[in-house]
Amino acid sequence: MPAAFAASISLPPTGPAARQGGPIKGEGGWWRQVDGLAVICSGRPRFGLESSDTRAPEEVVAAAYRRHGVDFARSLTGEFVCALVDGAANRAFVAQDRMASRRLYFAQVGGRLAFGTGLQQVVDHAGIERRLSRQAIYEYLYFHMIPAPLTIVEGVSKLAGSQLLEVSGGSVRVRTYWQPEFRETTDRGMDAVGEDLLAALRGAVGRSVEGLTPESVGAFLSGGLDSSSVAGMLADVTNGAARTFTIGFPDKAYDESGYAEIAARHFGTRHHLKMLEPREVIDAIVAITLHQDEPFGNSSALPTYFCAAEARQAGVSTLLAGDGGDELFGGNSRYVKQGVFEIYGHVPAALRRSIIEPLLLGPVGLGKLPLLRKGASYVRQANVPLPDRLDTYNFLHRYAAADILTDDFLRGLDLERPIRHLRARYNELDGLTPLNRMLYLDWMRTLQDSDLVKVTSMCQHAGIDVRYPMLDAEVVDLSSRLPTHWKVRRGRLRHFYRHAVRGFLPQAVLTKRKHGFGLPFGHWARRDSDLRDLAHTNVRWLGENAGFRPEFLEQAIQLHGSDTPGYYGELVWILMVLGIWLGRHQ
């Protein structure tokens, strides 16, 4: 099955005309007949945690359906997208895996449901006019990507993780087939559960490389907790034949390749280091931007691509990625920061309203004094509820939309939709602690809609298959059973995870700060005139062609030249990528 495919399901008419229609059926060349069912499957679905299953993916999906009926997708784990038509029962399903490791787009046009893994393929297959969505462009500015179910093309949607399309008669509905159960348990000690985690990680990596030769598989290695854990387990299951790949930068503030080398030496991997220079990236920026189905503003896509391309050149066809650990085990600094703000909610309401807030925020003005200014800022932020507080520094909260986009562009848009989208996810599951709600939100926002899109698409662009052991069902399930105070304790991120892997990971990796494959674009673009011209030309294009206010764009360019090029360089990157993408697809 190729990286991108499209197919469709014909929907019989409803009402009186239904007597004239035939059963639901699949159309297109990708269907395979299995046990009286028509099935399409891309990826590696499994029954639960079963391994050593030599059946074709379509056979696994068909067997799950025969055993579990309409709940078949809940019994599947692994990384996959699939479709199944049961003509005898006049029903069909289109599903993707729990974490949306691959995108699945769909459009219902008349009596057909078109779907596939490539946006343009679905547009072509459905035969619809390609009209770009202003709402999606606005949400790109908010999120730096376009979250499901929106797409950049009007009339086309995409599934979120753990969702499927259920087709019955002439109707199509989206439903969620799986949700995690955050059932915190403390009946076993941290040492025992830590052993469980190591075993789960080893099993996840083993399942990820099943059927692959040691020479054909490698691992991303940034030198952080997750990539080092995956690389170490790969070295274990391949008996020391693991190959690892990392990107380094001449800019010492961004270069973490030394930690990757420490981990590689510790596990005895055959390590490959690619030092990335600013002159190498100009052509690649345009290529990777246009490779994406939709505008995508995560700048670490660039080093991810170069790392995958290095692996491909070395003869590797499959890479293991460490994405997911921070969102499962509590590894992002905002979790600690928001925990500090949550403390204020435990102060008696009468004390807050009658004394603290009048003094710091009221007309008395004590909060303006230098020694109390931080206290006033703390109270203001603490009074903003989660998840809204997470986006306090979003530039679409700091700038009015009308200062960024023209009135014509904004007309008819739902400017509150992004925050409603976040609130709905944050409050989707009952009875969770604030930390677990933030983690669950990040499964969607950080993983499914950003990091997995980045890694999967860049690996595809480099001709590499990618797999995610940290998102294995056993690892995810174990993380959801952990007590909240094990994940983040007294300001220490990933407390349990660090405890579990002590003795397995080198000490330097255990104590390093979080980094990953960050990109020093803001600094590079200030020093390299060609890179700067590429950025500024495409930023200004938005003001001439895409409904942006030129004065805002010029301000962004000027701020990029200020004393904080890293921060404003990310803003310029986000705008530049949008200009490149829209310039080709407008």
Topology adopted by domain 6-176: Glutamine Phosphoribosylpyrophosphate, subunit 1, domain 1 (3.60.20)
Residue ranges, CATH 3.40.50.620, the chain: 190-329+439-509
Task: Report whether 106 contacts 115 (CB < 8 A).
Answer: yes
Select from 273, 267, 261 the least CA-distant residue to 237.
Answer: 267
Which residues is 505 bridged to in the sheet? 502
Q: Cis bond leading into 45, ω under 30°?
A: no
Superfamily of domain 190-329+439-509: HUPs (3.40.50.620)
Q: Taking the alpha carbons of 479, 483, 486, 487 in that order, is the dihedral positive or negative?
A: positive
* pLDDT, position 397: 81
* pLDDT, position 2: 46
Q: Backbone phi, then psi, for 42, in 5-degree steps?
A: -120, 130
- Buried residues in 343-378 as b, exposed as e (16+ CB within 10 A): eeeeeeeeebeeebbebbbeeeeebeeeeeeebbeb
Q: Two tokens at 268?
A: 């005895």
* pLDDT, position 371: 75
* pLDDT, position 14: 57
* pLDDT, position 18: 44
Residue ranges, CATH 3.60.20.10, the chain: 6-176
Which residues is 172 bridged to in the sheet? 167
Overall pTM > 0.85: yes
DSSP annotation of 349: H
Q: Map 92-139 to HEC letters.
A: EEEEECCCCCCCCEEEEECCEEEEECCHHHHHHHHCCCCCECHHHHHH
Maximum distance among all Cα pairs of the chain, rounded to whole angstroms: 79
Q: Two tokens at 153?
A: 């093309």
> Taking the chain (586 residues) in consecutive chunks of 10 residues, what is each chunk's mean pLDDT?
76 55 75 94 84 83 96 95 94 96 94 94 93 97 97 97 92 95 89 97 95 95 96 94 93 87 97 92 94 96 96 97 97 94 91 88 78 86 94 85 96 96 97 96 97 97 97 96 95 96 96 74 89 95 96 92 78 96 92
Helix (H/G/I), strand (E/B), else coil: 508: helix
